[in-house]
Each structure stands twice: as structure tokens, then as C-alpha cells.
């Protein structure tokens, strides 16, 4: 019997069918060991010795593997063909050795780039041993991410209350987003004008030409900067006689793009379908592991974590055959196309992402796939086939025109492009992140010396625009260009940044959030070297050298650690106030906008005497008055939050008190009156603003409704107790005694009736207590020497240790919300 280990049960089931009854294929369900989320798992003083801990969920599966080995002759490790897959095989083997489950069984490592019968059976004929260099590279990355996370995150917690964590690669990606925000804030729009004439040929055909020169001088895009200059040119063009000076038609060729790598697939799926990188990878994983086709599960694409752009010669032959069948021999180039990766630090260890069988056209596969799977498969198929098609043949025409008026000579230019042979464009054209199309207008026939007539003249004012915020696609592209991270890490990096609230995705663009900008400012101020793009890329090169067996992984860690721990030690003695002063100065342009009256931007708008400065609270940084506690003015960091801070909406008709929208440290809220309007010990009534409602959109009517909550709907017909409606942490609800029921779609908290409320309460009672409010017995994880049993329970912010909570500054505390954050990037 041969025991084969793969990652997933779906993969195991498929491969077992391919190999037959003499093989038993078992799944490890991914990684089986990891570094414990506590201090000491990596020891720099012991040559970076690493302590590995078996995942409790994996323990049973490893026992099953050990039992199966008793009657086996061979152990075949067949995990994914990359560094991470090599590490999983190594971990499984190490655990089996510790269990003494291996006797004299033969141990082999096999890899295949696609889950097809031929690929798997061929791989079984070419076994090898575990690649120690790849395992070393994995350990170096894992140790680096752990050391950065468990060393830097506690510093953040102490010096920046409310900050969550900082990872080695994620922090650099966050810096890219935040640097773009800074560029946008510093941008000053510049006025410019364009003049475009619509001209007629002698045959009466119309076309457009742009002013590009005057009196022997070229006119660039921004050269006409005022309306007065534009008006002068307009008068000259209106009085001018036009003639063709030259017509230049040049042939051009456009070659197809290379087949997909991980990053280019993520970029194109984002541009064309709006898929998040993480979503793209989930779909690609499913296509790779296999779909049921004719009663047999078959992988539809090759391995999807790669930065290689070459494909197997047999696949190229098949692609050329499909091109000839579908488009004709004119679309098949004389020789197969070969590609080389252009990305910095590219490791071309695997094929590009391609269909496993080119003859499976997207139309025939769409019935077997769900919508997103079908679209992604079609994208991969088209890109692969197009990469082997003939180039498109174009003709690009430039027409130079002279306009003479009153001794002045003005120059205009018209450009056009014609597709003479579409080639690969017949099948595929790459999406554009800037949503701009090339000029494909066809110009009418003209010859030098032809006279032209002016039909109309458009004089248009423009303003330069700031650089666009990154989309997920363009951020992935930029990270790849800089050599930051690796293809397999991009999706997880973006997801973590969004999950931590460091960035938000709005209208397909990534916006740097306040908490993210504060973290980046902190790192740039005190750990500048470690968020430099070149430093991170050079470290990636060192890690790649480890995988090539060119350098010791301990030496790379030592070189990094000596400088890094020194930087940490330098900041340990800084007080929080000193850190805030540095950040206050660095983020000043973002935090304090110019005042309309030209006054002091730091003057407190509430008391008029205090100065605004950066402060830190439990939930992060905010702007407050220096006269606290006499003045309690606060607002969020962003400069535009000033516009919604302390805005009066009008008076409450019942009390005569002003109704305010205020921007506090925990977000915007509604307040009735000021503290001075209430007796001592009494606090102003407040109400939260519903999620999804902008503070700037709140008007008096809505504010009064929010302040009226919770409102009594009526008495319960059976108990006679009141039923109330209100807004809570989890949204709108109705309440009867101790029972809370969330409102459903279509229900309105301000006008829900008694009958509907009774129904919701009854349905909730019938369901029983939810996990959120019900008692959680927890999972026992051991006994404390003096406090008794320690259990892990579900808390408001994730899992917590029940018996003993460790202090906030203890980096070893066990909280689900911080476990992976503290452990660093978890990238590879």
C-alpha cells in the first residue's frame, strides 16, 4: 500500500481515483504545525531556534496518517508545488518522525502542476526528496514575520493605544496607499486650456485636429494656462486658412500579452469583473482542484500561485491547434511565442496559469460551472489562447496641418489608428485600469497641400487632477513592480489591511483610513528603514537566495534582527506624549485644514482659547483641545471631519435646546443641547448615527427621530409589558422584557407596528437564545497552577482566556482578534 499526502480532501478524492486501489490518498487540511502565538517561539539568542506546535484540529488527522502507515510500503508527499507546499510536506514528515510512525517505509516527494490523470501519474514516475532549501526559505519568512509581529506590535500597543498590529510586508503595502493619500492632499490643481478644430476635407469629410504649435514653438498640454491666452489663439484660428502640411502613415504591430501569473490574473479579474484578489484566488483554487466532468473530477487550470509566464510545449501545440480550428491559419504565428517575466524578483519555477486542456472551450464549460467560475475560466482560456496568436497589424496615421492668419502660423495635428489585421484582438484585449481607450479613430483620405475648411472650434478649460487612488489591481501591480511580497501573498495582504480597518474599499478604490495613516506615520518616524520599498525588496531577494541554496537562512535573520531590535530599543523609553508630538507634526496637513477666514488652524473652535493637538484614546488617535477637561471638544483625525464637527441642526421644538451633530473620538453622533443646558450630574441625551448614513446628510427631522429612540410601540397582548424599538450595536431591534429581536429587511425602526413587533418577538423566542447572548461553556485548555481550569470562550471581540486575562501590554496574551495580527504577516 502507498500512502499519499495532499492538502485538501477534494484533491485527495480526485487523485485517489487517478491512482487506483493500491494508493490511499489522505488530506492534511493545509498546515499541521505553526509557531505558537506567544513570546519565545523564535529564539534569536539560540540561532533562531523555532518551536513548532501541532494544530489541535490537525492532531486527529495526523494520528490517522500514522495508523495508515503501519501497513504501508511507501509514503508519498504530494502537496502543492511551491515553497508553502514543500513546508507542509516537511511538517507532516517531522511530526510522523516524532510519533515514530515511520519504520522502513520509502519516503518520496512528488509535485504536479495540474490535477489531471496524466499530470499525476507522470509525477509519480519522477519522485524526489524534500527540498531543504525551500524549507529553509519558508522558515526564514515565517521567523521574520513572527519576530516583526511579536516585537513591533507590542510597541504599537504601548505607544499608540488603539493600534492593532504591524506586519513586515503589510506595513509597506499600507505605506503605498497612505503615500498616495498624501500626494492627493498636497496636490494643487493647475488650469489649462485646449483648442480642437473640426475640419472638412475637400470631399467634405470631417475630422478633429488639436493645436500643437504656434509661431515655431511647440504647445504642450499645460502650456495654455489662462482663458486670455486661449482667447487669443481662438481669434487667430477663426481667421486662419488651413492646409495639410504632411500625412504620415506608419504600420505598427501589437503583440499579445503573456499568459497569466498570479498577480496579472488578480489585476485583470479586478479590472474586468470587480473581483477582489482574495475572491479571485478562491475561485482559481476551485478550478485547480477540479470540477465534475462526465462523472470524473478534473482540474481545469494549472497551479494558480506562480510568477512564471512560460507554458509547457505540449500546451502550446494544443493552443495553436485550437487557434487554427477556431480562427484559421492566418491567426497562427509561424513559430510558437516564448515569454519571460518582467517583474522584479520573479521566480519562474512553475508554468503560467493556463487551462489543463485547451480544447475545453468556455462555452462548453459554462454549464458545469457557477457564474464566477465560468467567467474566470473564460478569462484564463482567452488569455492563454491569445498569447499564442498572431500579432495585430495596425496603421497609425498622423496629419500635420498649418493654419495661417495675419502673419501668424499655427500648427495642428490629427491622429488616427486603423486595425488592418486584428490578430489576437479577435479574441482578447486587456482591460485598462484607467478606463481610457487608445485613439482608434480612422482619418479620412488626405494629401499634402490639400486645403481644409473650419467647421467648428472647441475651446475647453481643464484642470489637472491628482493621481488616482490605488485600485486593488493597480496596488498589486505596483507591489509586483517594486518586488514587495510574493504572488501568493498579495490577496492576503489586501484582505488583512481591510480587516484591520487600515484601508477601506470605496468605488473600487483603496482609501487610507485614519488608523492606517497613524500607523504608517509612526513606522516612518521611528522605523523608517523597515518600511522602505527598496529595503523590503532587497530582503525578498535575500529570501529567494535562500531557496536557491545560496545563503544561510540564519545569516539572513541575524543581519535583519541586529538592526531591527536596536531600532525597537531606541523607542522603548519614549513617552506616548513624545510620540504623539512627532505624529502631530508629520500628519499636520491631513489633520488641520486651512480655515476659511485664514485664522489659526489649531485654535479650538469650541472654547477659542485652547489649541488642537493629537491625542490617543482606547480606540485610537483623535484630535482634542489642550484645555481638557474644561473644554471637551474632540473630533476625528481627517481634515474633512472638521466640516461635520459640532454642527447645529436647529432646535428641538419640545425643549428648545439645540440639536447638534458632533464628531467624537468614537465616531459621529447626535446630541441634544450642551452640558451647560443640564443640571449638575445630568448628561446631554445622545444618539448614534445609523451605519451607512453620512453625518453630513443628517438633518433635523432625522436627528429628532434618532433622539426619540428607544420608543415604545405598545403593550404585549399576553404579558402587558411594553415592547420598544431602538438602534443597538448590531442594528435596529425590538425588545420585550429580556428578549431582543433584530428587524428584518423592510422593517423600519421608526414606524414598525405592534403586530409585526409581536411576531418578531415570538419568532425569536421560538428559536431560542442566540450564541451571541447565550452562555458559552467554552473549551478547556488546561489548569492554571492556582486559578483552576482555563477555558477559551467567545467574547465580544473574539475568543478570550476566561480565567486569567493578561495585561494589554503583554505580547503573549491570547485573543483571537490579535493572535494572527501579533504573529505578523502570515504571508507565505
Q: Residues 356-368: pLDDT tens digits?
A: 999 999 999 988 8
pLDDT higher than threshold 60 for residue 561? yes
Minimum mean pLDDT range among 197-206, 453-462, 764-773: 764-773
pLDDT higher than threshold 70 for residue 752? yes
At 76, list the grid cell: 508519498
Q: Pick the most confident of 490-494, 638-642, 800-804.
A: 490-494
Say what the pLDDT of residue 745 is.
67
Say what the pLDDT of residue 802 is.
55
List the Cα angle 25/28/32 in 5-degree steps: 155
Which CATH number applies to 2-130?
A: 3.40.50.140
Identify the residue whose cell numbers are 510620540. Answer: 579
Minimum mean pLDDT range among 139-143, 445-449, 789-793: 789-793
pLDDT higher than threshold 90 for residue 807? no
| H or E stretch at 415 | strand 408-421
- Name the H helices within 409-469: none
- Could you say which DSSP state residue 619 is in? T
pLDDT higher than threshold 80 for residue 503? yes
pLDDT higher than threshold 90 for residue 377? yes
pLDDT higher than threshold 50 for residue 642? no
Side-chain half-sphere exposure of 331, counting CA atoms within 13 A: 23
Core vs surface per residue 26-38: b (16+ CB within 10 A) or e: bbbbeebbbbbbb
pLDDT higher than threshold 80 for residue 768? no
What separation in angstroms does the CA of 323 have from each of 327, 339, 388? 6, 18, 8
* 3-class DSSP state of 85: helix
Minimum mean pLDDT range among 159-173, 498-512, 749-763: 159-173
Is 694 or 259 the better-scoring residue by pLDDT?
259
The number of residues making up the chain comes to 828
pLDDT higher than threshold 80 for residue 817? no
Burial classification of residue 663, based on how many CB atoms lie within 10 Å of its CB (0-12 exposed, 13-18 middle, 19 or more buried): buried
In angstroms, the CA 395 to CA 250 distance is: 6
Say whether 490 is catalytic: no
CATH 3.40.50.140 location in the chain: 2-130
In angstroms, the CA 647 to CA 408 distance is: 58
Beta strands 106-109 and 74-77 are parallel
Percent of the chain topping pLDDT 70: 87
* pLDDT tens, residue by residue, 737-751: 989 998 876 678 888
Which residue among 146, 192, 242, 303 is the active-site one? Answer: 303
CATH 1.10.290.10 location in the chain: 262-390
Full DSSP string of 127-143: -B---HHHHHHHHHHHH
Average pLDDT for the chain:
85
Percent of the chain topping pLDDT 90: 46
Say what the pLDDT of residue 643 is.
46
Any idea which fold 191-254+398-422+446-463 has?
A: Topoisomerase I; domain 3 (2.70.20)
Say what the pLDDT of residue 686 is.
86
pLDDT higher than threshold 50 for residue 609? yes
CATH 2.70.20.10 location in the chain: 191-254+398-422+446-463
In angstroms, the CA 585 to CA 581 distance is: 6
- Could you say which DSSP state residue 202 is in? T
Local confidence band at 629 (pLDDT 50, 70, 90 cut-offs): confident
pLDDT higher than threshold 90 for residue 383? yes
Pick one of 3.30.230.70, 3.30.70.260, 1.10.357.10, 1.10.290.10 as the CATH number of 262-390.
Answer: 1.10.290.10
pLDDT higher than threshold 80 for residue 814? no
Say what the pLDDT of residue 318 is.
95
Minimum mean pLDDT range among 127-131, 216-220, 284-288, 293-297: 293-297
Local confidence band at 347 (pLDDT 50, 70, 90 cut-offs): low
* pLDDT tens, residue by residue, 391-449: 999 999 999 999 998 889 999 999 998 899 999 999 998 876 544 444 567 899 999 99
Mean pLDDT of the region 2-27: 91
In angstroms, the CA 519 to CA 524 distance is: 9
pLDDT higher than threshold 70 for residue 379? yes
Amino acid at each position: 500500500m502507498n500512502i499519499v499526502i495532499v492538502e485538501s480532501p477534494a484533491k485527495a478524492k480526485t487523485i485517489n481515483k487517478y491512482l487506483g486501489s493500491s494508493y490511499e490518498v489522505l488530506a492534511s487540511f493545509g498546515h499541521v504545525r505553526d509557531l505558537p502565538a506567544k513570546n519565545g517561539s523564535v529564539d534569536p539568542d539560540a540561532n533562531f531556534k523555532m518551536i513548532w506546535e501541532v494544530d489541535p484540529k490537525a492532531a486527529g488527522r495526523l494520528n490517522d496518517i500514522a495508523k495508515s502507515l503501519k501497513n504501508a510500503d511507501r509514503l508519498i508527499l504530494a502537496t502543492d508545488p511551491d515553497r508553502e507546499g514543500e513546508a507542509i510536506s516537511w511538517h507532516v514528515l517531522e511530526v510522523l518522525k516524532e510519533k515514530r510512525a515511520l519504520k522502513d517505509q520509502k519516503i518520496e516527494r512528488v509535485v504536479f502542476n495540474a490535477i489531471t490523470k496524466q499530470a499525476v501519474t507522470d509525477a509519480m514516475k519522477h519522485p524526489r526528496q524534500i527540498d531543504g532549501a525551500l524549507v529553509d526559505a519558508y522558515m526564514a519568512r515565517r521567523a521574520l514575520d513572527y519576530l516583526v509581529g511579536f516585537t513591533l506590535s507590542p510597541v504599537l500597543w504601548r505607544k499608540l493605544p488603539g493600534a492593532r498590529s504591524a506586519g513586515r510586508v503589510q506595513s509597506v503595502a499600507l505605506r503605498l496607499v497612505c503615500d498616495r493619500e498624501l500626494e492627493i492632499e498636497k496636490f494643487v490643481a493647475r488650469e489649462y486650456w485646449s483648442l480642437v478644430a473640426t475640419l472638412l476635407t475637400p470631399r467634405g469629410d470631417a475630422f478633429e485636429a488639436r493645436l500643437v504649435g504656434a509661431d515655431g514653438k511647440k504647445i504642450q498640454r499645460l502650456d495654455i494656462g489662462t482663458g486670455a491666452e486661449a482667447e487669443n489663439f481662438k481669434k487667430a484660428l477663426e481667421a486662419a486658412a488651413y492646409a495639410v502640411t504632411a500625412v504620415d502613415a506608419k504600420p505598427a504591430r501589437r503583440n499579445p500579452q503573456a499568459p497569466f501569473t498570479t498577480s496579472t490574473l488578480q489585476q485583470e479579474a479586478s479590472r474586468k469583473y470587480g473581483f477582489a484578489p482574495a475572491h479571485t484566488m478562491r475561485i482559481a483554487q476551485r478550478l485547480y482542484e477540479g470540477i465534475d466532468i462526465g462523472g470524473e473530477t478534473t482540474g481545469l487550470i494549472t497551479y494558480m500561485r506562480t510568477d512564471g509566464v512560460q507554458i509547457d510545449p505540449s500546451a502550446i501545440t494544443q493552443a495553436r491547434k485550437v487557434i487554427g480550428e477556431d480562427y484559421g491559419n492566418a491567426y497562427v504565428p509561424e513559430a510558437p511565442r516564448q515569454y519571460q517575466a518582467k517583474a522584479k524578483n520573479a521566480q519562474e519555477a512553475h508554468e503560467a496559469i493556463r487551462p489543463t486542456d485547451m480544447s475545453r472551450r468556455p462555452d462548453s464549460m459554462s454549464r458545469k460551472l457557477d457564474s464566477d467560475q465560468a467567467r474566470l475560466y473564460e478569462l484564463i482560456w482567452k488569455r492563454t489562447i491569445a498569447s499564442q496568436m498572431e500579432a495585430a497589424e495596425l496603421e497609425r496615421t498622423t496629419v500635420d496641418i498649418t493654419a495661417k492668419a495675419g502673419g501668424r502660423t499655427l500648427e495642428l495635428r490629427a491622429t488616427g489608428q486603423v486595425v488592418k489585421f486584428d490578430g489576437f484582438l479577435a479574441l482578447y484585449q486587456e482591460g485598462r485600469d484607467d478606463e481610457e481607450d487608445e485613439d482608434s479613430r480612422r482619418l479620412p483620405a488626405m494629401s499634402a497641400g490639400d486645403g481644409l475648411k473650419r467647421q467648428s472650434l472647441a475651446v475647453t478649460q481643464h484642470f489637472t487632477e491628482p493621481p488616482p487612488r490605488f485600485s486593488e489591481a493597480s496596488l498589486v501591480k505596483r507591489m509586483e513592480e517594486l518586488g514587495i511580497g510574493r504572488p501568493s501573498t498579495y490577496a492576503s495582504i489586501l484582505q488583512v489591511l481591510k480587516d484591520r480597518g487600515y484601508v477601506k474599499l470605496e468605488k473600487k478604490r483603496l482609501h487610507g483610513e485614519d488608523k492606517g495613516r497613524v500607523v504608517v506615520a509612526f513606522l516612518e518616524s521611528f522605523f523608517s528603514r523597515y518600511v522602505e520599498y527598496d529595503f523590503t525588496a532587497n530582503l525578498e531577494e535575500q529570501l529567494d537566495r535562500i531557496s536557491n541554496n545560496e545563503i544561510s537562512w540564519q545569516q539572513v535573520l541575524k543581519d535583519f534582527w541586529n538592526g531591527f531590535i536596536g531600532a525597537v530599543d531606541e523607542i522603548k523609553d519614549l513617552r506616548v506624549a513624545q510620540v504623539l508630538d512627532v505624529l502631530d507634526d508629520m500628519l499636520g496637513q491631513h489633520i488641520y485644514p486651512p480655515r476659511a477666514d485664514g485664522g489659526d488652524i489649531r485654535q479650538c473652535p469650541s472654547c477659542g482659547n485652547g489649541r488642537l493637538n493629537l491625542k490617543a484614546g482606547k480606540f485610537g488617535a483623535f484630535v482634542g483641545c489642550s484645555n481638557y477637561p474644561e473644554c471637551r471638544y474632540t473630533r476625528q483625525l481627517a481634515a474633512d471631519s472638521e466640516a461635520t464637527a459640532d454642527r447645529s441642526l436647529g432646535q428641538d421644538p419640545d425643549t428648545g435646546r439645540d440639536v447638534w451633530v458632533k464628531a467624537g473620538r468614537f465616531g459621529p453622533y447626535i446630541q441634544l443641547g450642551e452640558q451647560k443646558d443640564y443640571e449638575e450630574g445630568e448628561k446631554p441625551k445622545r444618539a448614534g448615527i445609523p451605519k451607512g448614513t453620512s453625518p453630513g446628510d443628517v438633518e433635523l427631522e432625522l436627528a429628532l427621530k434618532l433622539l426619540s429612540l428607544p420608543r415604545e410601540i405598545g403593550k404585549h397582548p399576553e404579558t402587558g409589558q411594553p415592547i420598544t424599538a431602538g438602534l443597538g450595536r448590531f442594528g435596529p431591534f425590538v425588545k420585550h422584557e429580556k428578549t431582543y429581536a433584530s428587524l428584518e429587511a423592510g422593517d423600519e425602526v421608526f414606524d414598525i407596528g405592534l403586530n409585526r413587533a409581536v411576531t418578531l418577538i415570538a419568532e425569536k423566542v421560538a428559536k431560542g437564545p442566540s450564541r451571541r447572548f447565550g452562555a458559552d461553556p467554552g473549551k478547556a485548555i488546561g489548569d492554571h497552577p492556582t486559578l483552576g481550569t482555563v477555558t477559551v470562550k467567545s467574547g465580544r471581540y473574539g475568543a478570550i482566556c476566561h480565567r486569567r486575562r493578561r495585561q494589554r501590554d503583554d505580547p503573549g496574551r491570547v485573543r483571537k482578534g490579535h493572535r494572527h495580527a501579533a504573529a505578523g504577516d502570515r504571508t507565505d
